[in-house]
Structure 1
Amino acid sequence: EQGHEERKSGTLSEPQEFHSGFIRINPDHPDRVLHQDIDNIENIRSFISAARAAAFSKPVIAIKTGKTAAGALAAEIHTGGKQSSDAVYDALFQRAGMLRVSDLTELFAATQTLAMHPKLLKVEQLTILTNGGGPGVMAVDSLLQSSGKLAQLSEETRAALNKVIPQSDMTSNPVDIFGDSVPARYQQALEILLHAKEVKNLLIIHTPSALAPSEDYALIIAQTLDKLPKMARPYVITNFMGEDAAYAARRLCSNYGIPTYRTPEGAVRAFMHLVSYRRNQKHLTQTPESNADDAKINKHAAKALVNEFLAEQQSYLSTHQASQILAHYGVECIQTEVAYTPTEAKEQAIELGFPVALKLISPSIPSKSEVGGVVLNLNDAQEVEQTAFAMLLRIKNTYPDAIIEGFSLQKMAPRAGANELRIAVKTEPNFGPVILLGEAGTGLEFAQAAVALPPLNMNLAKYLIAAAHDKGVLKERVLPEKVDKYRLCALLTRISQLVIDQPDITSLELNPILASNGQFLVLDATMTLSRYQVQSHRKRLSIRPYPIELVKQVTLKNNTLATLRPIKPEDEQAHQEFDQSLSKEDRYKRFFGELPQFNHDQLAKMTQIDYDREMAFIITQDNATLGVSRVLMDPDKIHAEFAIVVRSNCQGLGLGSLLMRAAIEYCQSQSVQFIEGITLPENTGMIELARKLGFKISRDFEEGSINMVLALTPIDKHG
């Protein structure tokens, strides 16, 4: 119905073709939109890396079946692979910058919409112009139920509309010009909205009218839009209601390249596809940091504890044991004592002071509160002992085969006014560890939680919290104090770092977590351990974290120390200052021409890289960037292209040699066979450095450039 050119969208037919197909997609590929039916993904990291690369240049739409239990079972039979939770796939698609649709109808609609408007929306707010009150309300309901936003009209715009619309109180959003509007009034209202600064997205709804054919109104829209430069006009979509009466109008809009839909809801869904694409693009620029808070993390001490527990063949850790590991990541747990008999429980309670909480320790019973394994507010020693005996008897009668390791005792924490949260880590087939966030309680499954893939940085943690609110699994309570979201983000990043650093942790549950006065106190923690076995065909984490193992100190020729490390998102401002410090001559040598200073979007792509596909090393001193070398590997890692530039006032300090050697060593660790680069003949410093490092130098007289190629000998990979 919208009318589009050939090859605006493409598909990949086989699941295994997805990775290689996406990896080879380039910005000049004729497909404007890519879509893929996904049943099972064997290599999640390759998938995300390839999908992110494709999504940077064009919309990528995914349709994933198996949302229901029966559907998931059918998918397992079809693919022969274990299916992960549907919520995990949602997290995957969002992190990869993909747009997920639920069925083929939505797939085709989204493909057409994005093919006709592949650029990002400037804003998410939508203005609605309608000649029918009912359809306008339908559009508003559909928009808000989809987490969309209505635009607020300015007083200036409302005043202008009041002059052309009879009832002045109708000039809010949606703008209702009534069913008796002649084409002239339609055009006047349309021109006002098209010139309003606050109107960036406009949905025009038309119901059939006896005053003029629908096609006349469609022609007004097309001709009015044609008067405006494309860069200056809002994004416009239309809904001409009716079948035969509106067919010619929809056809005319399609011929003019104006997206058009049969129903208000269909038009809103199409608009929300663009909104979702815009939101997902933001996630593409969120490359995770390695450490959330170095001062609070001691991964080596935590690793020693994990090894100690595994050596003692303890795979299930209760709060008392898990808290020792968590403490090395700045996660505070309430003081917990362990007792092995009811009598010991009584004695421990006396030492703690009353009131106390008594909890069963059993790896056989994951949700102890559901079977009476948790009793709160015990006020004296006798009550503790009697409760412990009763708990043992009840569990032995109900679960005769359960392994009971004893009891944990905690002094009751003040819960009045505190929010109660739950954070969990679970290991999913193919995906590895995933992080869940929800409210405290029993039976936290994926349906009751928001899900994210580690690693998390502060921004990604913020998105996880927002997703939990949107999903309704983390509600704003009417309490004296709201959850400190900044500190919750910090807590989530520390949990993420724990997941990165400790591969032997297979699951973790913190439930409940009391959030009060900006502090987070874990009342109950359980952790399971299993010695991680490295698999050559699959990485443990779905997304590669910041490669902290490549950070090192170097000495410059002036005998000062500097840091050589991979670039990270937080380097954007320093990188902008570095770019501004380059002389015109150095910029010309690096970029083969005169280029303007880089803007935010360009700098974001330079600093927020995919470490599985490329690498950028920088040398820093006192938070200033002195030089950078970049390496971009092809999908098969046969060839890699390099580029290097050094701060103009820092040349002669050996920076180029250090950066070039780092790039070469990294390519060797990735089994790249050849590293190559191009420079201008006048860049004699680069040519001489390449010659010293063993590059084969040749001149391309046709292009007027110098080619540098080095054959590499592979070394053991890092990380």
Structure 2
Amino acid sequence: ALQQALPHAVGGNPLQLGDNARPEHFGTALKLLAEHRSTGTAFVVHASTHGAPVGEVAQALIANQRFAYRGLLACFFGGLDAATRDALHAQGIPVHTTPQRLARAFARLVDYRMGRELLMQTPEGLPAEVPDAIDAAQAQARAALAAGERELTGEAAADLLRRFGLAIETAQTADTAGVDKRSDAAPASRESDCTETDAASAPKPVVEIAVELHDDDNFGPVFSFTAPSADGVSEPLRLYGLPPLNPTLARDIVTRSPYARLIAPEPALAALTALSQAVCEVREIVGLALTLRVYRDHVTVVAPTLSIAPTRSRLAIMPYPRRFEETLDWQGARITVRPIRPEDEAAHHDLVEAMTPEDLRLRFFGAVGSFDHSQLARMTQIDYDREMALIATVQSDEGLSRTLGVVRAVADPDNETAEFAVAIRSDQKGRRLGRLLTDRIIRYARARGTHWLVGEALRENTAMIALARSSGFTITPTEDPSVVGFRMALDEPRAD
């Protein structure tokens, strides 16, 4: 097609339009290339000629920009006048003076997009820790501090980490099997005495990763992971991560290692996530140093040392606040009220789909359709430091979790005022679920030290206004006559 339409062009990538190119040829090339879905972002590199002056080529790009569905960037050798540059910018076409700058700008766009996609990924569900195990780990750390200890090593550190599902390989086992830092070492089984035959037949680790945690002045607790180079020549691989690590973030760390193709990823993901959970749940841990011995199908921890202290810096990313989970009997059913999690996206989609168009209009102050992945991700992947969304869930007969309702509160940066809203499945209205969730968001905001809880509703939303009034809010007018407001001073004692 290109040969027929542009006989003087030289095919390939890049496509060279030639010295005789005219402004309209640029538009023709964009149209023809756009028909092939494998075409990526279009780079247009132009050197001005009598037949293709800068201004006319720029207008051709603007006219045909819609065909470059994955983006269009332009480079004009010799520059261009301000009016033409502004016209290109107004249409969202970045302009650069050299191909090198164009390529660097494109690389930044790719990094930005990949970062946004990573943020919007729905993580797999975190392993459910046993509350008794968490309580025991916290009690162990506090008892050690009370006894004047500032470091847990050996069996004490191993006991604490085992409570989070980590397998510990003892020094005695490693010594018996002759294991060292080399990847061809052969650790022995923990289950039996080791003979020379056992050591020779024991599985060999693929790599040993040094893991450290330190309390940074700016970021709080920070993990560092160091693995030796795969070729013995390159620099060791060193990566950093902020807890809490979910399986998606852990997978990003694992896949960047040159050893990733040699191991089953799930055990490594589970080990990294478990380490992160131990740090998040036991706030007395201010530092750690250990080795992750990674085999093809499992991971063990070697020689853990935990530094403990009464206090540490706050996490840069607030972990899931498990302390707000609550299970109770309600209307003949056993429900759980808890903070929302990223993996609730599918259930949250079902919640919205179960609401009538009128209920959605009253909740969102206008007609809305279905929500896409990015919108649902913003609802379910929240910053627990500034926002809280409590959901009421019930288990279906098939064992799946179903969301019945949600109450959400978003605080300002100074924690002076938080705005809240409630949404209930249309088939659950009239069963006082809204009041149950509202009482808990009031309790949460008051415990957090928020001074005011406020909200708004359409004047015709009599059910929401009645709920606010019965919960203790003062109903107030707003600048919009179709909307009423309600506010509650959380510093004042609440009359029951």
Deviation at 1:652, TM superposition (A): 2.5
**Cα distance change, pair 619–440 in 1 and its aligned pair in 2 (3 A):** same
**Cα distance change, pair 189–586 in 1 and its aligned pair in 2 (3 A):** closer
Partner of 2:80: 248
**Cα distance change, pair 332–355 in 1 and its aligned pair in 2 (3 A):** closer
Partner of 1:582: 355
Partner of 1:459: 248
**Cα distance change, pair 448–234 in 1 and its aligned pair in 2 (3 A):** closer
Deviation at 1:593, TM superposition (A): 2.5
Partner of 2:368: 595
Partner of 1:198: 38
Please show how residues 262-281 of structure 1 align to structure 2 within 5 Å: 262-281=97-116
CA distance in 1, matches of 2:281, 2:113: 33
Are residue 624 (structure 1) and residue 413 (structure 2) matched?
Answer: no
Partner of 1:260: 95
Partner of 2:160: 325
Could you tell me which of 316, 337, 350 is aligned with 1:542? 316
Could you tell me which of 154, 161, 167 is aligned with 2:2? 161
Deviation at 1:178, TM superposition (A): 4.5
CA distance in 1, matches of 2:124, 2:447: 22
Partner of 1:551: 325
CA distance in 2, matches of 1:644, 1:190: 49
Please show how residues 142-161 of structure 1 align to structure 2 within 5 Å: 160-161=1-2
Are residue 434 (structure 1) and residue 272 (structure 2) matched?
Answer: no
CA distance in 1, matches of 2:201, 2:280: 31
CA distance in 2, matches of 1:543, 1:702: 37
Q: Matched residue of 2:383: which SS?
A: coil
CA distance in 2, matches of 1:681, 1:436: 54
Please show how residues 30-429 of structure 1 align to structure 2 within 5 Å: 160-164=1-5, 171-178=11-18, 181=21, 185-207=25-47, 212=50, 215-216=53-54, 219-227=56-64, 229=66, 233-241=69-77, 246-248=78-80, 252-257=84-89, 258-285=93-120, 291-294=126-129, 298-311=133-146, 313-337=148-172, 355-356=177-178, 414=202, 416=204, 418-429=206-217
Deviation at 1:541, TM superposition (A): 1.1
Could you tell me which of 666, 669, 691 is aligned with 2:469? 691
Q: Give the gaps of 5 or more residues in structure 1.
A: 1-159, 338-348, 359-368, 370-375, 379-409
Give the counterpart letter for 2:344 in structure 1.
Answer: D
Of all paired residues, the percent bearing the same amino acid is 29
RMSD: 3.5
CA distance in 1, matches of 2:265, 2:74: 40
CA distance in 2, matches of 1:412, 1:167: 69
Give the counterpart letter for 1:678 in structure 2.
Answer: E
Are residue 646 (structure 1) and residue 483 (structure 2) matched?
Answer: no
Deviation at 1:510, TM superposition (A): 2.6
Could you tell me which of 379, 390, 402 is aligned with 1:606? 379
**Cα distance change, pair 668–413 in 1 and its aligned pair in 2 (3 A):** farther
CA distance in 2, matches of 1:184, 1:680: 54
Contact 1:240 1:249 in 2 (8 A): no
Deviation at 1:325, TM superposition (A): 2.0
Could you tell me which of 501, 510, 533 is aligned with 2:290? 510
Partner of 2:335: 562
Deviation at 1:269, TM superposition (A): 1.0
Could you tell me which of 294, 305, 309 is aligned with 1:531? 309
**Cα distance change, pair 489–179 in 1 and its aligned pair in 2 (3 A):** farther
Are residue 499 (structure 1) and residue 279 (structure 2) matched?
Answer: yes
Q: Matched residue of 1:247: which SS?
A: coil
CA distance in 1, matches of 2:237, 2:206: 20
The number of aligned residues is 468
Q: Give the gaps of 5 or more residues in structure 2.
A: 188-197, 230-234, 396-400
Contact 1:357 1:411 in 2 (8 A): no
CA distance in 1, matches of 2:149, 2:294: 28
Contact 2:205 2:293 in 1 (8 A): no
Give the counterpart letter for 1:236 in structure 2.
Answer: L
Q: Matched residue of 1:256: which SS?
A: helix
Are residue 450 (structure 1) and residue 274 (structure 2) matched?
Answer: no
